[in-house]
Structure 1
Amino acid sequence: MGHLLRSLLIILVFVLPASAQEDPFFSVDGLNEGLGAPPDNVDRRTPRTALDTFLTAADAGDWRAASHVLDLGDIETGLQARDGEILARQLHSVLDRKAVLDWSRLNQRPDALQVLGGSQQAQAGEPRRSLLIRELNLDPVPAAIRLNRVKPGEDTAPVWIFPRETVADIPALYAAYGPSALEARLPAAMLNDAVWGLMWWELIGLPLLIAASILLAWAIRRLFEKIRRSSDRAVVRGVLHGVRTPAMIAAVTTLFFVASRSIFVFSGQIEIFLTPLIAVGYVTAILMLILNVADALLDNLLAPEEDLDLTEAQYQDARSTATKLNAVKRILTIAVVLIGSGVVLSTADVFRGLGLSILASAGALTLVLGFAAREVLGNIMASLQIALNQSARMGDRVVWKGEVCYVERIHLTFIQLRNWDGTRIIVPVGEFVSETFTNWSIQDPAMLKILKFKFRPETDLDALREAFFEVMEELRQDEKLGGEVGEASEASMNVTGQDVFGIDVWFSVPCRDPNTSWDVACASRERIVKAARKIEGADGKSIFPEAQAAEAA
């Protein structure tokens, strides 16, 4: 009994896969009886020869031979000869204009078996009975142009033809992608091939379209300039100036898009470049719009040394707003670049099959690109980190490697610092966030400037302290710096140490704003030196140590 069960299981293992395997062709009752026997120049044994037969016959104007590559089974037998030629002519027009043929997918085997293939190609090593040539958009669902392998009857060899589903979509495809109304009115001579597979009307129409786009861009530029000059607000003028170029690009791109869909339905040689260029145009316009408008707002509302000085203490909220605006600009820029790259790749036939999957997958190419751009990506993420944690905001006064600067711009990959003398320091964002820096503006802009002096031990400290507080009072009365000196209670004089040369005396000068603290410190130091000289003259004793250069070293 056990031996019998094992035998049955073995039989099932071999029989079930064989029964589940589908035939390498579609069985049909008959094929194009209304066309008669196909002529000798019709070869439909392999997908490559079938498509080559169709294109060769169409180029020669032999539409009867071309119609033999169409499955006309849904058409009445008596109408197949007439309608077949019409459908063949229409399909050839669609293929010529919109289909970029990948002949490597149409091999020279009757079973279309793909010998080579990786783990991602599930049908490698198996015979094929249907091949997708191109998928074109139609309303409401796309239409697939396919070649199917059919067997008309038991005694007939299988052949490759355009199936009934594709034939049924030909009129709609021709209406959407066939010649425009303008092209239909052109004389036959203009429809002949000129050079590079282009027709004469395309060689004439394309330069005219380019000239029209230049004229449109010039008109939009003049319009924006006129509107910009009529405004008396700097921010409006800045935004209009930033929008002008993206508007020109978007308008020219729209002109090409409309012209290529309704006026000039170009052939595949132009369409293969025109479609991705239209996508690039829109992506570029959106990207420039984001960057230009954000920069215009920063330059005219929030930038230092303009109508609003972010370095001033009272504009702490404005510094945060400017930094957040920069963060939004960077996030939108990254999003537009990623999505736009996917759109451009998916619209270009040379990259069909890559498209958005490159950006979404963790494949080898993505890893290679990520490794090559790791420094750039690291800087981008670091700039987003600064924008989110607000450790350094636009307009903040910082000390970077001993240089007193303020943050002028936080770019995508670097930070632009402005030094006290007007020079700019460019720091990669990754380096900036990995180093320790001092931020004078992050919490409370008020600060103490410490002035360090060395005096002789016998110096009258009480007189020196009194002179220091008089200096502070004089500064508060100063017309220029009076408002920059802090509270009197925060001023102090402390003896912090001593050595062989004398005593160390530190004067703590309160400052309200880090941007003017250097000026307050310089003025205080000058007045303290003068006051010390007066004390020295009154006592007749030197209060500053007298040391030789070698001793001081």
Structure 2
Amino acid sequence: MKKYAIGWLVVALVFSSLCVAQTEDKEMRWFSIDSLNVGLDAPPEAVKRQTPRESVRSFFDLTKQEEFEAAAHLLNLSKLSAAEQREKGSELARQLAAVLRRGEWIDTSNLSGRQDAAIVDPSGKNPLAGQPRRNLQLASLRAEGQSYDIRLARYRVGEENPVWLITPDSLSSVPLLYEEYGPSWLEEHVPQRFKSTFGSLQIWEWIAIPVFLLGVGSVGWFVHRLVGLVARWLPSGSPSIFAGEIRLPMALVVMTLVAQALLNYVVSFSAVATTSFRILLITILAWGIGMIALRFVDVILLNIKRRLVGEIDDTKPRDERKLLTSLYAVRRGIILVTVVAVTIYILSQIALFETLGMTLLASASILTVLLGIAGQAVLGNILSSFQVSLAKPIRMGDLVVFEDQWCYVEGIFYTFIRLRTWDERRLVVPVQYFTSKPFQNLSVKSAKMYRMIELSLHLNADIECLRDKFKEFAEAEKNVIEHHKLSCFVTAQTEAAQKVSFYLMTSEPFAGWEAEMNVREKLLAFIRDNHPEWWPREVVVASHHDMALGKRPTASPATVADGPDAGDST
């Protein structure tokens, strides 16, 4: 008997556990209620409430046809008495439809088409896949600084089929949201025949949106012209330059503010248009303010450059050119911080993280790879730009020889370096390309530079006389410095000529080139006017046999070809 009692006890425990599990499973699938909308008549056939998609789509279809009494069957009016349900149900449906149409665009295709609203994920990456849900969020709207959710829940009365309805808590905030998102002043005066829907917008919206854009654009054009006139009226200098640079961003900022004011107080469009305008206006406003800030920084840098450095070349002290290079590095840092701040602001304002959620996180690695491949050249140039700023192999105003061209470094930017050639041309070179090629920095330590003049002269040229004249001519040049380093040597010799080299130190490369040319011209003029016999000439060798036969003498191979054809022949 004792064994039988224990067996029955085990069976009872198992049965009770199964009942509890079944009860808990039902509680996870729906909310059990005693009654539902008793103040309303039986729902018409047009009301579909089996799945979240059917419920929301049915609600939109009925309210579009202004059948608000039927649409009230898609609301859970349990917080109202039976009399209030009949009286206020259709009004709440009308207000909720207006709020959803203007507040947040809901794509019913994204809602679950299953009765249990379980998430379908064949990949198995979603941990909630396959689990039934009984409460869904349709929208999250803000009014008076607070957020209010519109939620859809699954209810079951007794043994009837469960249905999906707007929750009572969501309906309690509808009057407040209606004050925020209800019809605008303009829409209240639009004739009823223009309120029919065409596509995703109403007919009056297809007319009002182009007029709205044209009006906002006219305001921007006026501000652009006005700021341009102000830039002309201001005295020349930093204020005038700053005003001229911010014409476009200032026009865009004013346009966005005017457009936002019109959307708040004059006209309101459906959610699909409002959402698009909202994202566009936030992006333009953040970009415009960021550009104004960057232009302000540019004007400050221009002031500092003019006062401390002046014209960009390597005649300025090394510390001043180093300071200017550091200032441009600071500018790039400010640009980077501004771009990051503007991006974060835009994402926070449009609630991108909330709307994308798991999708953004799941695709983050893919996006990273794609951006890395697509922006490899840009990212490489940006990193090279920071490398140049930190290591400083070049500075603003340095004179470099890049690919056989003499250039001043005029600007170091994020993705390119701007070089000014000696003939005032501008070379725009990608930073990564520039740093990957060997170049000469003639200003890395000091701007002064040795210059050399070579002359090919006859063997009878008086080197001591040339040395004295060279020192006389070189010391007369203002760009020749360190006169104690002036020197003259014979550096090569052939049978009939010798190569004489003159060395001088100049203050900077371009001035040194000019000094070299002047000294060369004076040396050549001195030799031409006073000692023309010093020019190299051909040595003629003639044998007695050739002279007897009357043949023309032949020149000796000892010929110097790089001197001018002057002087007497032997």
1:270-419 equivalences under 5 Å are 270-290=273-293, 292-293=295-296, 302=305, 308-311=310-313, 313-314=315-316, 316-337=318-339, 340=342, 353-354=355-356, 362-419=364-421
Q: Which residue of 2 aligns with 1:486?
A: 481
Distance in structure 1 (CA, Å) of the matches to 2:362 and 2:321: 36
Q: Which residue of 2 aligns with 1:44?
A: 49
Cα distance in structure 1, aligned partners of 2:78 and 2:496: 112
Which protein shows a greater Rg? 2
Distance 2:357 2:559 in 1: 76
Aligned residues: percent identity? 31
> Is the Cα contact below 8 Å between 1:311 and 1:515 reproduced in 2?
no
Offset of residue 160 of structure 1: 0.7
Is the aligned partner of 1:432 residue 2:434? yes
Conserved 8 A contact 1:283-1:336: no
Counterpart of 1:157? Answer: 161
CA contact (8 A) 1:67 1:88 kept: yes
| 1:180 maps to which of 179, 184, 194 | 184
Distance in 2 separating the partners of 1:463 and 1:158: 117
Distance of aligned partners of 1:357 and 1:67 in 2 relative to their CA distance in 1, 3 Å threshold: closer
Scaled by the length of structure 1, the TM-score of the pair is 0.82
Partner of 1:512: 507
Measured in 2, the distance between the counterparts of 1:179 and 1:83 equals 19
Question: What is aligned with 2:519?
Answer: 524
- Distance of 2:275 and 2:283 partners within structure 1: 13
Match of 1:59 among 64, 70, 82: 64
SS in 1 for 2:401: strand
Moved more, 51-60 or 290-299: 290-299
User: In structure 2, do the counterparts of structure 1 residues 496 and 98 end up closer, same or farther at CA, with 3 Å as the change threshold?
Assistant: farther
Q: Return 275-284 or 285-294, whichever deviates more.
A: 285-294
Q: Write the distance in 2 (CA, Å) between the matches of 1:543 and 1:231.
A: 67
Classify 1:178/1:441 alpha carbon distance in 2 versus 1 (closer, same or farther; 3 Å).
farther
| 1:438 Cα deviation from its structure 2 partner | 1.6
Residue 142 of structure 1 corresponds to which residue in structure 2?
Answer: 147
Q: Which amino acid aligns with 1:166?
A: S
**Structure 1 residue 249, shift from structure 2 partner:** 0.8
Query: What is the TM-score of this pair, normalised by structure 2?
Result: 0.80
Name the residue aligned to 2:127: 122
Are residues 298 and 531 of structure 1, via their aligned partners in 2, closer, same or farther at CA, if it must alter by over 3 Å?
farther
More displaced, 22-31 or 250-259? Answer: 22-31
- Indicate the residue corresponding to 1:244 in structure 2: 247
Q: Does 1:25 align with 2:30?
A: yes
What amino acid does structure 2 have at the position aligned with 1:445?
A: A
Please identify, of 290-299 and 71-80, the stretch whose mean Cα deviation from structure 2 is larger. Answer: 290-299
TM-align CA RMSD? 3.8
How big is the shift at 1:318?
4.9
> Does residue 86 of structure 2 align to residue 86 of structure 1?
no
| CA displacement 1:312-368 (0-9 Å, x = unmatched) | 523655544443443344344444445555666777799974599969985112211
Q: Is the Cα contact below 8 Å between 1:70 and 1:161 reproduced in 2?
A: yes
Partner in structure 2 of residue 450 of structure 1: 452
264, 268, 271: which one pairs with 1:265?
Answer: 268
The answer for unaligned runs of 5 or more in structure 2 is 1-9, 539-557, 564-570
- What is the DSSP-based 3-state SS (H/G/I as helix, E as strand, rest coil) of the residue aligned with 1:23? helix
Contact 2:329 2:389 in 1 (8 A): yes
Shift, 1:413, TM fit: 2.0
Q: CA deviation at 1:397?
A: 1.4
Instruction: Count residues in correspondence.
Output: 526
Cα pair distance change 1:434/1:75, threshold 3 Å = same
Distance 2:493 2:144 in 1: 90
Give 1:213-252 correspondences, 5 Å limit. Answer: 213-252=216-255
Q: Give CA deviations for 1:144-202 in whole Å, capped at 9, x if unaligned.
A: 222111223x3232211111232222223222222234434x15527612643434543
